[in-house]
Chains A and B, each alone.
Chain A
Amino acid sequence: MGTTSEALIVCEHCDTVHQRLALSRGEVARCARCGKVLQRHYRLSTNAMLALIVTALIVFVQANMWPIVMLGLSGQHSSSTLWGVIIAMWREDAGIVSVLVAATLFFLPLLKMLQLGWLLWFARQGRRAPGFVPMMVGLHYLNPWTMSEVFVLGALVAIVKAHTYFDVTPEPGIYAYAVLTVLITVFAGIDLRQLWRTPEVAA
C-alpha cells in the first residue's frame, strides 16, 4: 500500500477501518462498530442516473414555472409560483427567510442538478468533466441544503390551513413538485463518491 488505498473504507462516523466489499444486488454494507451504512449496491448505471437527472431538471423547471395552488375568496383568485413566494417574503420584510427559501428551494437544488448532469455526462464517456474536483467537493457541501421535499409537505399543510377559509384549487406546480420529490428520493440512495473512481486522465 502506498500513501492512499482504494481497498479500504474508513467509517465516517466512528473511524473504523473496513475492507471495501464487492456487493451484489440489493446488498448494503454497514459498519460493524456503529452501524452506519458504508456501501450500497448501485442498481443504476451512469446512463440511468443521467436520465434521472435530466428528468429531474425538466420537472424542476415546470415546478418553478407553474403556479403551485390557487386560492379563491368570494370571486377573487390568487395563486403563486415559488418565485412569487420568494418575492412576497422579501416585500414583507422577511429578507432572511426569502433568501433561505430561494437558496434551499431554487438555487442550491438547481446548482446540484446542473453539476450532477455535467459530471455524469462526462462519466458516461469514462472521463472526468472539466472542473471535476471543485464540483465534487462543492456537491458534498451543498447536499444537506436542498429541501424541495420539505416544501411539498409544507404546501400540503398550507393547503389544509387555507382550506378552512378559502376555495383551494391545486395547480400543476404542486404535481410537478410531487414528481420531483419522488425523483429526489430515488436519487438520495446513490452515493456519488463512486464517481471519484473515474480515472484521472491528463487534462
Chain B
Amino acid sequence: MNALPRAAELGLIGCHVCGLVCRDAHAAAGAAEVVACPRCGVALHRRKPASYSRTWALLIAAFIMYIPANVVPIMRTASLNDIDDNTIISGVVELWKNGSPNLAIIVFTASIVVPMLKFLALGTLLVSSRRGSNWARQQRAGLYRLVELVGYWSMLDVFVVSLLTALVRFSVLSRVEPLPGVIYFGLTVVLTMLASMSFDPRLIWDGKDTDD
C-alpha cells in the first residue's frame, strides 16, 4: 500500500470541478500565473487556496453564530392566554414529551449533534493536518466524508420553524412566529457548510510520510 503515487509528486493536477487530470504546467514553466483547466476553464490548484485560514475563519464565524442560535429562542407560540418561546433544545424536549421520542432524537441529532460534530471534526482535522500528523489518517479521511455527507441536514429546524410559521396562523387563537435564534441557526449551518467545503482533505495526507 505504500506505492501509491500522488498527483503533486508526479507533477499532475486533478481539476476540482471536472476531474480532468492535467500536467501541472505551473510547475513546469515555473510561471507565477494561474493555469486554467483546458476542459472546463476553472483555475487549477494543487490544493484549495488558503485552505487553513479560510476554514478557520468560517468555522470561528459559524461558532460565533452558534452561541445565539442556541441561547436565543427560535420560535414563539402565541395563543389566547399564553406565550411560549422555544429554543432549539427546549423544542427537542417538548417534542420528546408530547410528540414522538424518535423524532426528537432525529431533531436532536440534526440540530445539536451535527453542528457540534462539525466544529469538533473540522477543528481536529485543521489542527492535526497542520501538524502533519500521520495519526489515524484513514479515520480522519472518513470523518471528513461524514461531515460532508451530513452537513446540510442541520437545516431541518430552520425548515420546521418556517413551515409552522406559515401554517399556524389562526388570528388571535394561535400563532407561531419565528424569533431571531432561527436566523442565527440558519447562518451557522451555511457557514459550517462553507467551512467544510473550504477545507482541503488532501492536507490530511500531506505531512511527514512515515508509511506503515
Contact = CB atoms under 8 A, between A and B. Distances in A.
A85 B1 contact: no
Interface string B141-157: 11011000001110111
Interface string A145-169: 1010011011111101111111000
A137 B25 CA distance: 22
B187 A76 contact: no
B156 A150 contact: yes
A33 B205 CA distance: 9
A1 B6 CA distance: 17
Nearest to B23: A3
Contacts, number: 220
A140 to B, nearest CB: 5
Contact of B178 (A94, A158, A193): A94
A10 interface: yes
B99 A10 contact: no
Given A15-B205, A94-B182, A78 B153 contact: no
Nearest to A163: B99
Interface in A62-100: 68-69, 71, 73-74, 76, 78-80, 84-89, 92-94, 96-98, 100
B95 A33 contact: no
Contacts of B187: 96
Nearest to B159: A154
Interface string B70-96: 000000000000000000000100110
Chain B's interface size range is 35 or more
B183 A97 contact: yes
Nearest to B145: A36
Given A97-B162, A161-B160, A156 B174 contact: no
Given A85-B166, A97-B183, A3 B158 contact: no
Given A4-B23, A16-B4, A193-B18, A96 B186 contact: yes
Interface string B1-31: 1001111101011101111111101000000
A5 interface: yes
B8 to A, nearest CB: 6
A13 interface: yes
A35 interface: yes
Contacts of A94: 162, 165, 178, 182-183
B39 interface: yes
Interface string B168-183: 1110011001100011
A4 B21 contact: yes
B21 A17 contact: yes
A88 B162 contact: yes
B113 interface: no
A28 interface: no
Q: Which of A68, A74, A147, A161 has the most CB of B within 10 A?
A: A161
A14 B158 contact: no
A73 B174 contact: yes
Interface of A: 1-6, 8-17, 32-36, 68-69, 71, 73-74, 76, 78-80, 84-89, 92-94, 96-98, 100-101, 104-105, 133, 136-137, 140, 144-145, 147, 150-151, 153-158, 160-166, 193, 196
17 contacts: A4-B23, A4-B39, A5-B12, A8-B12, A10-B21, A12-B19, A14-B201, A15-B202, A17-B12, A78-B170, A80-B166, A100-B186, A158-B159, A158-B160, A158-B163, A164-B98, A166-B168
